[in-house]
Amino acid sequence: MGAIEVTDLAMAYGELKAVDGVSFEVGEGEFFGILGPNGAGKTTTLEMIEGLRKPDAGEIRLLGERPWPRNADLLPRIGVQLQASSFFERLTTREQIHTFASLYGVPTAHGDEWLERVGLVDKASTRVEDLSGGQGQRLSIACALVHDPEVVFLDEPTAALDPQARRNLWDLLSGLNESGRTVVLTTHYMDEAEALCDRVAIMDHGRILRLDTPATLIRGLDAPTRITVTPAQLEVGEARTLAGVDDAEEQVEGTVLVTREPARVVALLAERDLLDGVRVQTGTLEDVFLDLTGREYRA
């Protein structure tokens, strides 16, 4: 049995169908991602599973139990990070996590351990208002995990972070399911879902469009490979004549060759000594999204 089972979940805000018939299952110890643009219904789905909202329709089993109405037996077994800095105002980092530790009835020492794990020991006496975005997210994640829950929900933990802080957080996140813990993460970053998740549900307009491992999603796309040669090395016309090249175009970063036989094309480029600075791009989840919805991905 999975850690989470969701069947035909639906929820509307007035006319707007925020979640429209969603079904999926998350296995024990799995790192599960829900990927989609803003307003896709990710947060609403998550909040229904956590037990914050009553679904209009559908069934939810979280660790075998119904989360709605507020299920007090379930609460110590799950950890949540909501899509905001849900902190007590004007407390220091340490006071913050100690407060959460006591709410969950665990020793405050667990809080200190988690501060160390998320790398906030030297910020322990800093007030939460003075933490940077990344530090705040780390603390928020630590607060969600202080009682060592079996399932943890992270709602866009890297939103509004700069790329460097986002990468730093990935290192922390990727280890969260190591000890058998189930992790559910929402994100609107394709690369993040690709890097962290065992399986990804791509969501838009309240529906799940596709659900699979990132690799399978990309492979299933059958997208061509794009090979970019540094500028002024290869004429577009000449490039089109190369065997295996389906199309070519001139771009700022260089001549882009579109192919389904990358090995053959790379070999030809090697013969012409054009490999310096060459860039090879296979399909990404972004292409999958474009393919599924017929429109550009808007984060």
Residue labelled with tokens 């007030």: 127
14 φ/ψ angles, rounded to the nearest 5 degrees: 60, -120
DSSP, collapsed to helix, strand or coil, labels residue 7 as: strand
Provide the mask over 91-120, with x wherever binding to other proteins is found by CB under 8 A and - wherever it is not.
x---x--xxxxxxxxxxxxx--x-------
* Binding residues with other proteins: total (CB under 8 A): 46
Residue 7 CB, shortest distance to other proteins, in Å, is 18
Interaction of residue 52 with other proteins, rule CB under 8 A: yes
d(CA 87, CA 97): 9
Interaction of residue 42 with other proteins, rule CB under 8 A: no
Inter-axis angle of helices 133-145 and 93-103, to 10 degrees? 20
- Alpha-helical (H) ranges within the chain are 42-50, 93-103, 108-117, 133-145, 163-174, 190-196, 214-221, 236-241, 262-271, 285-293
By C-beta, is 44 or 259 nearer to other proteins? 44
Binding residue for other proteins, selected from 38, 86, 213, 216, defined by CB under 8 A? 86
Binding residue for other proteins, selected from 125, 164, 179, 241, defined by CB under 8 A? 179
Interaction of residue 195 with other proteins, rule CB under 8 A: no
Q: Are strands 199-204 and 31-35 parallel, antiparallel or unpaired?
A: parallel
Residue 1 CB, shortest distance to other proteins, in Å, is 5
Interaction of residue 64 with other proteins, rule CB under 8 A: yes
d(CA 223, CA 95): 51
Given the rule CB under 8 A, which residues bind other proteins?
A: 1, 3, 28, 50-52, 63-65, 70, 72, 75-76, 78, 80, 82-91, 95, 98-110, 113, 127, 148, 150, 179-181
